[in-house]
Amino acid sequence: MRAQDRVVARRHLDKRLRSIGNPDALARPPRGWVKAIREALGMTAAQLGRRLGVSQVRALALEKGEASGSVTLASLERAAQALDCRLVYVIVPRKPLEELVEERAARLARKRLQATGHSMALEAQSVEAADENAQLKQLTRQLIESAGSALWEDE
């Protein structure tokens, strides 16, 4: 993907993710969404099992699997349909994607400048703090615009 396409993709995803509002409010209930919705509807596990075409024991196992995090998305999709719901799956970054990329690029830029700053100090050269800040900003921009996946290589 080209650098400009990545920028557009990040901004588009950030905009879509902002529409979620408070993602913590959507966190899975301790006993899972399937069980919470089934109980709120007044449906028994046996009834859910029939709607899924499985036994009551299997329906309960699905609920336990969701609560423990071991259920498959396909099973959750079938359970959602059986509950007359829809499955919405989303990974929500802790920060906007643009911010994550900028922070990563700035960290790498600082690391590169420290390495060159160390060799400059050995040559008894000094760089003013304002110049260092300008260099940091410039290198950060360059990394964001051109690094691509290299930005995420382990340090």
Q: Read off the CATH number of the domain in which 41 is found.
A: 1.10.260
Judgement on whether residues 110 and 71 belong to the same structural domain of the protein: no
Judgement on whether residues 12 and 33 belong to the same structural domain of the protein: no
Contact 147, 107 (CB under 8 A): no
* pLDDT score recorded for residue 39: 97
- Residue 49 falls within a domain, yes or no? yes
Judgement on whether residues 127 and 141 belong to the same structural domain of the protein: yes
Count of Cβ atoms closer than 10 Å to residue 38 Cβ: 21
Judgement on whether residues 64 and 52 belong to the same structural domain of the protein: yes
For the chain, the domain total comes to 2
- Residue 88 falls within a domain, yes or no? no
* pLDDT score recorded for residue 117: 61
pTM summary value: 0.73
Judgement on whether residues 62 and 48 belong to the same structural domain of the protein: yes
Judgement on whether residues 153 and 110 belong to the same structural domain of the protein: yes
Judgement on whether residues 58 and 8 belong to the same structural domain of the protein: no
What whole-number distance in Å separates Cα of residue 45 and Cα of residue 22?
31
Judgement on whether residues 26 and 72 belong to the same structural domain of the protein: yes
Judgement on whether residues 10 and 33 belong to the same structural domain of the protein: no
- Residue 6 falls within a domain, yes or no? yes
* pLDDT score recorded for residue 126: 52
- Residue 89 falls within a domain, yes or no? no
- Residue 48 falls within a domain, yes or no? yes
Chunked into runs of 10 residues, the chain (155 residues) has average pLDDT values of 86 91 88 97 97 97 96 97 95 91 90 70 50 84 83 77
Domain boundary among 59, 82, 105: 82
Judgement on whether residues 27 and 74 belong to the same structural domain of the protein: yes
Q: What is the domain range of residue 151?
A: 1-20+94-155
* pLDDT score recorded for residue 31: 94
- Residue 122 falls within a domain, yes or no? yes
Contact 33, 71 (CB under 8 A): no
Judgement on whether residues 26 and 78 belong to the same structural domain of the protein: yes
- Residue 128 falls within a domain, yes or no? yes
